[in-house]
Chains A and B, each alone.
Chain A
Amino acid sequence: MKHAPAPSSRVSRRRFLAGTGAAIGAAAFGRAPAAIGQQVRELQVWHTEVEPQTVKIIQDTTIAEFERKFPGFKVKQQALGWGDLNTKLLASLSAGNPPDLTHLNPFMTASLYTKGLLRPMDELIRALGENDIHEATRKLQYFDGKYYGVTHAMGATYFCERRDLREKKGLKTPETYDDMLKLAAALTEEGRYAFQMPGEKLYMGFVHPAEWMASNGGSWVDLKTWRPQLNSKSMLETLDYLQKLNKFQSQGWSGQKYLDTQAALATGKISMSYLSGARAIGYIEKYAPENMRDPEHFMPMLRPRGPSGKVGISALDGENWAVFSQSKYPTESFEFLRIFYKKENYMQYCHSVPIHLSPIFKSMLGDPAYLANERIKKWKAWHDVMMTGLSKGSFLPLGFSRPEDNLLPFLAELDGSSIVADMVVEVMVGGKNPKAEADRAQKRSEELLTQLGHKRWS
């Protein structure tokens, strides 16, 4: 039996294969020369600024300029959530394939430095203007006479308060723990709590405890012996204060998140959010009643100090750029940073989330071109609070109880261990005895540091 011949309009298999092959060939050979003769090299850049407009600015300014300058390179930026950064970085290091350039949390840097995983960047720092970099960040990654990091931008954290409600009560911003308790009592009203803390353990179990200790003359560990100080007088006074303070917030706070507190503030359910930064402005402008979206109603408030402290300390959010010793393209990574910090690029970067991304350069902080941004003009009072805090030394990097904590190689493990978070929750929410809980945390942290090989005390 004969097959009927295929109609002429049909494509035969041979023709189809030939056509497809030709198309693939054309696609392959028609691409940019880099695809054939020249290998495209990829510069991996990880950072923590996940706002879409920031990602776009980096792409349109620094990356575009870099790729023009280095035609054989493609830059792949990856914006990672704050909480994901450490785990992903450590996993990539373990796999021997870290990014070329990355943001690091300052409390991680010492740990990586001591393991010989970072490259010094003195030349870059000098090129950027060593003395123009703000003192609050300049030497955070300075080990054994060399720089191993440079902060990308500074963002202060603080309370965000309903200023109008406080002023109605005729109260000043609190200077001490006692003032804070009085303010919280005054601001607790039917249907509105005085404040709310974020329930994430990164904050309530690490960032805030560091602030509490710093604000009350304490520290994570003894500077010489590295023995933990979780049951010190400073911490016990703080736990006592926290137990009292807890009455003025929702009892479900430990199961809620940072963003829940921002929403609660913007919608009038609380009078103060415990953790805030200039990012809160976005929430206020989106969710607060229209006639209240201004600094007359919402203002930052710096932390109070404890009975044993001299000045209230707030955390300064500011990851540093770092180049790993395993980086495939270290020279290009440093070049990328030079382009990133070029004034015209950097200004746009800082303006992508105004005030939250405050420049690290002293000359730029008061620069009229920087201050001319519309949001900075409207929320200038917030910028001023940041400047006041910087000048008074009210800030320490996230998780630091004192400047020397940049030398501690175990803060990431302490943060991850939940030891401090458990203590805080048991005392604040569980109503347990502060001394007993502090002693338990002390014992656990001593065990942890011993297991990690950091025990220096006898």
Chain B
Amino acid sequence: MRKSALVGWLLLAPSLVLLGGLVVFPVLYNIWLSLFDKHAFMPVQAFVGLKHYRYFASDPEFWTSFYYGSVYAGVTMVLQLGVGVPAALLLNEGFRGRNLLRGVVLFPYMIPTIVAVILWKWLLNDSYGLVNHLLMNAGLARPVAWLGPDYIMASLIVTSVWQFFPFVVVTYLARLQTIPPELYEAATVDGASAWRRFLHVTLPQTASVLFVIVLLRSIWMFTKFDTVWLMAGDGGVSRYIRTLPVYAYARSFTYLQAGMGAALAVIMFVMLLAATAVYFRLFRSDEVFS
């Protein structure tokens, strides 16, 4: 018995070493780093305990970033669902060209983020962008500064929703395809309309996948860095979309305060952990996962 346990541990060892080295160690190191005043590159550091956490509690920049990050994550998540779920329902129906459309809809998710952002910035540019060109042809008097402070968040949200809604489509569609057709046939025999079939068959059947989509997309959008940074990271207008990941990056690599950047990362981690716990408590039910 003891020998077989040893063999078991030995077999597990590579995974444990990998997990420890690639997941646990970085997290612990980050927590440790957040307790130091550490320059990003120079070998200069001093232990400061919880000073950074106290600082951020009253730092207006932190709260502004938290606000922008929450707005960005919340709105993009809702819109991705709003676009992705109907698209998946549509692609679950039988029609000519469905297979082609299923491939095309994945396109935004497949292209590199840098390409997606450059494409949208080009479209939205107020000097030579196609969007303003079309709007002005339609009678708009002056070009809209889509990349200026008033609209930069909206532009970022549109870009992000366009880029990430295919994930919702693919995931939701995969679940839709596993719903037994007998359920719909029975509902139809009972006289249920299309809306009722969606409400009483499709929605309960897909609740588990919706639960996971909302969870994952919320976490991913709240921690999204590349799209936000590429949209305006090095620009003056970045002030209006400076989400928490961007602020953490800035503290680490442009303010060169690695300790403070690490503290922000820990704060985000704790926030997401708490939000996930609340989410599970509120919405998870055993029936959903049975």
Name A residues whose Cβ lies closer than 8 Å to a Cβ of B: 83, 87, 90-91, 93-94, 115, 199-202, 204-205, 250-257, 260, 263-264, 269, 412-413, 415-418, 421-422, 424-426, 429-430, 444, 448, 451-452
Contacts and interface: CB of A to CB of B under 8 A. Distances in A.
Interface string B233-273: 01111110010000000100111110010000000000000
A254 B236 contact: yes
Contacts of A413: 255-256
B289 interface: no
Contact of A416 (B145, B237, B256): B256
Nearest to B60: A440
Given A251-B148, A260-B125, A425-B149, A90 B235 contact: no
A202 B147 contact: no
B235 to A, nearest CB: 4
A255 B234 contact: no
Contact of B148 (A204, A429, A448): A429
17 contacts: A93-B41, A93-B42, A94-B40, A199-B237, A201-B236, A204-B236, A251-B126, A252-B126, A252-B145, A252-B147, A255-B146, A255-B148, A263-B128, A269-B127, A416-B255, A451-B37, A451-B260
B222 to A, nearest CB: 21
B169 interface: no
Given A251-B145, A429-B148, A424 B236 contact: yes
A91 B41 contact: yes
B232 interface: yes
B250 A254 contact: no
B42 A94 contact: yes
A428 to B, nearest CB: 8
B118 to A, nearest CB: 12
A3 B254 CA distance: 70
Contacts of B73: none
B221 interface: no
Nearest to B232: A255
A412 B41 CA distance: 13
B237 A255 contact: yes
A87 B255 CA distance: 11
B239 A425 contact: yes
B262 to A, nearest CB: 14
B209 interface: no
A204 B146 CA distance: 19
Contacts of B152: 255
A94 B254 contact: no
A250 B128 CA distance: 12
A94 B253 CA distance: 13
Given A93-B41, A255-B152, A421 B236 contact: yes
Given A252-B145, A254-B148, A421 B239 contact: yes
Q: Which of B146, B149, B235, B257 has the most chain A CB within a 10 Å cutoff?
A: B235
A418 B43 CA distance: 24
Nearest to B149: A429
A101 to B, nearest CB: 19
Contacts of B254: 415-418
A361 to B, nearest CB: 34
A425 B41 contact: no
Interface string B152-184: 100000000000000000000000000000000
A403 B89 CA distance: 66
Q: Which of B126, B127, B234 has the most chain A CB within a 10 Å cutoff?
A: B127
A425 B256 contact: no
A425 B236 contact: yes
A416 B147 contact: no
Given A252-B147, A255-B152, A269-B127, A418 B41 contact: no
A88 to B, nearest CB: 10
Contacts of A416: 250, 253-256
Nearest to B46: A453
Nearest to A255: B147
Contacts of A257: 235
Contacts of B234: 83, 200-202
Given A90-B256, A418-B250, A256 B127 contact: yes
B145 A115 contact: no
A264 B108 CA distance: 30
B255 A417 contact: yes
Nearest to A430: B149
A279 to B, nearest CB: 19
B245 to A, nearest CB: 15
Q: Which of A251, A444, A448 has the most chain B CB within a 10 Å cutoff?
A: A251
Nearest to A96: B43
Q: Which of B42, B150, B236 has the most chain A CB within a 10 Å cutoff?
A: B236
Contacts of B235: 199-201, 254-257
Contacts of B253: 87, 416
Contacts of A444: 61
A444 B145 CA distance: 29
A406 to B, nearest CB: 19
Contacts of A253: 148
B256 A412 contact: yes
Contacts of B242: 418
Given A202-B234, A252-B143, A255-B147, 19 more contacts: A91-B41, A93-B41, A94-B41, A94-B42, A199-B235, A250-B145, A251-B145, A252-B145, A254-B149, A254-B235, A255-B237, A263-B127, A413-B255, A416-B250, A417-B254, A422-B239, A429-B148, A429-B237, A452-B257
